[in-house]
Chain A
């Protein structure tokens, strides 16, 4: 199996190199048979990488410790599910997994474009193959997943205990899917620049890829946050760690991109900006990988001392300089007769929305690299942690939320003051009323008051939009309200799916604000039968039970949870001890309600039978996950096939006159 894996990766590299030459030659000399051959080579490359992945999975599942990777990240006692997920638990395996996803997406893109986009698709495939060559080069020559052990150990080192969690089974694949699928729109953007075919064909062709990427970046970030919440045991879900930041930045830039392409589709503006954004999004995915694997910036995440940093930095420099050079080279051709009438217009709202998103991304980037700058300039190593990011990104987030409310209700070109007042009166009243009620309820923090008011304002604008659409259908088609609502969303899925995403963002935002500002914490050491309280809850320690198997030892405490004298549940936080790794870990107990999460950590046990508990009461955190779910649902609605849009794309890519699909746009249109 190791030989097969090595051979497959070597052949995959050769196929990727061949596909670039064949694609470019076929496109330049108009030889379709060469383009077809290149396409087949990409499919064969995907098959080869798949063989390598299967070979490594086989090694992991059969505990083949002759493989260095298996010996380092698995053991015979590791549960089978985690042997499977160990593929992305270590350096080489995760790079192989990344390359596999890239080869799959490249194959799908090659298949979807086998008969269309003949001008730019071969170049896009060449760019995708170029990216694959970098990763395959790493896997073949720098960080090889099929290296063998000099002496075969009887047992493996095991997977890091923190990664032995079901969220870790889905967090990296989601995030990697988001990262890697961003390569497809980037490749088409680069191909548009290479060929000079600079209309919005590349945007239309890759719109679903961009949404797909955004969808998985969203899920990946949320799953990662949930993993941190359940596994790390500090009661929080986001620590502004450099690697978290590295995942957050592409999400912000992709969000900006998905909004700004609407302006290009509708008004033929921002061509340079959109190309720059997709280049930036892709570059940030490589930057994130550089951070994770270079050790340049301290991070809680693994891989940081891998020595791969220079390779990723070199690749990043090549990508950024090459792409920027192309943008400059095509600057004149990208000039379009843009028109702008008023700051009270949807165009302006979208521009400022982009500014806020990129502003937050820049603030996060700046905070992430500032320790390196400080060390270079002053020779003093400093830390840039949560207080910095909260203070800098927090106010910008408020601006962004405000613009989320403004954009959808404001007209293209310009809006009169009277229309503005009419459109925003009800949402503004909702926002102010929420603030007043919150103030009357005793809230005094200006940020919380502003955040809740803005959330109500934005929700108000979305309700106004839905109400207007349903009202129109009822008026013109005599539909019932539920039928009108369903038809409204079904027939304008891009627009109303977008609104559902906005609702999800607001709900998640409320969850973030509530859980950040009102969390309370109690730490208590108690003996069996003793009680303590947090908020309205009383907790009684019932006792301890132990469990042991070949893999780990577990000590589980049982706590009776009461509220107002009535028992509501029993909770069981635990301490784990992983035998192979000789490493302790915690298993938190969480009781989640829409009002607050009761979160219990078994912090310590002493010889006298006394147990120490760290308990957090975190209001509204439930809504962070609920908002994430809504965002996912909204994205599915947006991506749902739309017959009209498909017809428009088909006509456009066949080379007919541009057909507007702006009649069925996303929020703001």
Chain B
């Protein structure tokens, strides 16, 4: 692979990592209008169960049950997801959020996985570069032909011949 091609690959990998990070930061929400469950997923139940307000299953939970009702009331009043979660953060502190904020030290939570991925891509490129050898005169192993092609790859032919020999 030429230097230019390798540079292109590195740039493409970096671009991919950025896109993935942006996608992660942007969230995977299907809809822009909040529903009660979406908002409740953003809050951690404070009863000690360790689950989100949406997932706490205790029928008589003193936190999740009234909070779910309150969330629905706030949505009905036209509050956005950010506003509702902000309200609870002001009231209970950061511990009530079900995911880290994107500021200060918490930013590491979001960046590190994608940074590690980028390092992994770099390591693969570095290692592959060390492994690379000048291709010899033999042609590359042919890629499998398309399904409607009459010829078959040598591997398949060898296996079939072996099967035939064994009476398969």
Contacts and interface: CB of A to CB of B under 8 A. Distances in A.
A387 B113 contact: no
B24 A584 contact: no
B168 A232 contact: no
A663 B28 contact: no
Nearest to B128: A340
Looking at A385, A423, A487, the one whose CB has the most chain B CB atoms below 10 A away is A385
A603 interface: yes
Interface in A402-457: 409-416, 419-420, 422-423, 425-426, 444-445, 447-448
Contacts of B95: 380-383
A472 interface: yes
B93 to A, nearest CB: 8
Nearest to A487: B168
Given A392-B110, A399-B20, A492 B159 contact: yes
B94 to A, nearest CB: 5
B113 A362 contact: yes
Given A341-B135, A355-B121, A370-B100, A380 B94 contact: yes
B50 A300 contact: yes
Contacts of A383: 44, 50, 95-99
Interface residues of A, number: 89
Contacts of A151: none
Contacts of A554: none
B112 to A, nearest CB: 6
Interface string B17-57: 00110011101111100011100011010001111101111
A363 B110 CA distance: 9
Contacts of A380: 94-95
B28 A447 contact: yes
A195 interface: no
Given A374-B106, A517-B30, A491 B147 contact: no
Contact of A413 (B52, B94, B108, B141): B141
A536 interface: no
B107 to A, nearest CB: 11
A476 interface: yes
A511 B41 CA distance: 20
A528 interface: no
A355 B124 contact: yes
Interface string B139-165: 011111111011010011111101110
Contacts of B36: 521
Contacts of B142: 411, 419
Given A355-B117, A412-B141, A395 B24 contact: yes
Given A239-B51, A382-B106, A413-B141, A394 B28 contact: yes
Interface stretch (A32-40, A166-174, A461-469): A461-469
Given A366-B116, A383-B98, A663-B155, 20 more contacts: A236-B55, A298-B50, A367-B109, A370-B108, A383-B95, A386-B99, A392-B113, A394-B24, A409-B144, A411-B142, A412-B141, A415-B140, A419-B143, A420-B143, A422-B146, A423-B143, A445-B30, A465-B144, A477-B168, A603-B59
The 9 tightest CB contacts between A and B, nearest first, are: A419-B143, A385-B98, A340-B131, A363-B113, A388-B99, A445-B30, A387-B99, A411-B143, A395-B20
Interface of B: 1, 9, 16, 19-20, 23-25, 27-31, 35-37, 41-42, 44, 48-52, 54-57, 59-60, 94-100, 104-106, 108-110, 112-114, 116-117, 120-121, 124, 128, 131-133, 135, 140-147, 149-150, 152, 155-160, 162-164, 168
